[in-house]
């Protein structure tokens, strides 16, 4: 009897989820690709809602939103872009919050190339280094800041290859097209460890904190799925996933 009641309760819960299910269109900063894919799966299982994800650079998303792109939630790679949209009355008032603090890492697929203090940057014994476009991607801006503080930016400038976003910088480095690159820690971390190669996790003292804010856009203010996603991102399950990818 007890088992039957549990099955009935589960069926009713599934029916409620199906009846209330909605979809939210989410613009997601490229560095947050892996954790957001995992969160979206859990979100769908737990709430019945679906998150339709688009990944790219925060700067590009800003331009698209200003031109009428139908995104309902923005998960940016910085605080400035959501704040700017908020000032421009493009967002739901009071919805903005910091969902993650990103970490920058100098990484190579080649074991032993990157030392644990980043001295490889001063030695310059490599042909190319990948970074995200600092004008579009906060992780790229952080990479430039690190090189400036280390006093190597001018010397390394001829070797710098810029990708539109952090995913492109990671792709070039992971395929060996560039021997090393500044990427997001979340892109090379698996189960709390660097998955392969060699890496230097950049100290926070060398660049401004990469605080990443989420905000509901005007087109999502009446969408229950958007509200549910923002609530879910603040919950224990999502926060555990976020921490597992190296975010603060």
Segment 66-85 mean pLDDT: 97
CA-CA distance, 40 to 153, in Å (whole number)?
38
Per-chain mean pLDDT for the chain? 92
Secondary structure (H, E, C), the chain: CHHHHHHHHHHHHHHHHHHHCCEEEEEEEHHHHHHHHHHHHHHHHHHCCEEEEEEECHHHHHHHHHCCCCCCEEECCCCHHHHHHHHCCCECCCCCEEEEEECEEEEECCCCCCCCCCCHHHHCCCCCEEEECCCCCHHHHHHHHHHHHCCCHHHHHHHEEEECCHHHHHHHHHCCCCCEEEEEHHHHEECCEECCCEEEECCHHHCCCEEEEEEEEHHHCCCHHHHHHHHHHCCHHHHHHHHHCCCC
Start-to-end CA distance of the chain, whole Å, equals 47
CATH number of the structural domain 24-101+210-244? 3.40.190.10
User: Could you report the per-residue pLDDT of 10-53, keeping only the tens digit for each?
Assistant: 544 444 544 468 999 999 999 999 999 999 999 999 999 999 99
State the pLDDT at residue 167: 93
Statement: residue 70 has pLDDT above 50 = yes
User: Could you report the per-residue pLDDT of 122-163, keeping only the tens digit for each?
Assistant: 999 999 999 999 998 999 999 999 999 999 999 999 999 999
Q: Where in the chain is the domain with CATH 3.40.190.10?
A: 24-101+210-244, 102-206
State the pLDDT at residue 1: 55
Residue 110: C-alpha distances to residues 106, 185, 200, 210 (Å): 12, 16, 13, 26
Segment 53-82 mean pLDDT: 96
CATH number of the structural domain 102-206? 3.40.190.10
Q: Are strands 189-190 and 193-194 parallel, antiparallel or unpaired?
A: antiparallel
CA-CA distance, 169 to 166, in Å (whole number)?
5
- Rounded to 10 deg, the angle between the 236-244 and 224-233 helix axes is 60
2 pLDDT band (50/70/90 cuts)?
A: low
């Amino acid at each position: 009897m007890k088992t039957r009641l549990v099955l009935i309760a589960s069926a009713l819960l599934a029916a409620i989820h199906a009846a209330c299910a909605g979809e939210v269109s989410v613009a997601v900063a490229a560095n947050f690709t892996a954790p957001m894919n995992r969160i979206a799966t859990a979100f769908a299982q737990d709430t019945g809602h679906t998150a339709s994800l688009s990944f790219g650079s925060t700067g590009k998303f800003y331009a698209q939103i200003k031109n009428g792109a139908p995104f309902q939630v923005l998960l940016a790679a910085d605080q400035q872009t959501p704040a700017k949209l908020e000032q421009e009355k493009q967002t739901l008032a009071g919805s903005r919050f910091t969902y993650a603090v990103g970490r920058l890492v100098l990484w190579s697929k080649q074991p032993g190339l990157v030392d644990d203090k980043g001295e490889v940057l001063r030695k310059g014994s490599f042909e190319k280094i990948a970074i995200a476009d600092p004008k579009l991607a906060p992780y790229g801006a952080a990479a430039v800041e690190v090189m400036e503080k280390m006093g190597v930016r001018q010397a390394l400038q001829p070797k710098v290859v810029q990708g539109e976003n952090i995913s492109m910088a990671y792709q070039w480095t992971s395929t060996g097209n560039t021997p090393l690159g500044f990427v997001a820690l979340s892109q090379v971390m698996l189960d709390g460890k660097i998955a392969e190669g060699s890496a230097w996790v950049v100290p926070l003292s060398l660049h401004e904190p990469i605080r990443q804010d989420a905000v509901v856009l005007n087109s999502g203010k009446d969408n229950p799925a958007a509200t549910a996603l923002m609530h879910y991102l603040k919950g224990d399950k999502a926060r555990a996933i976020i921490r597992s990818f190296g975010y603060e």
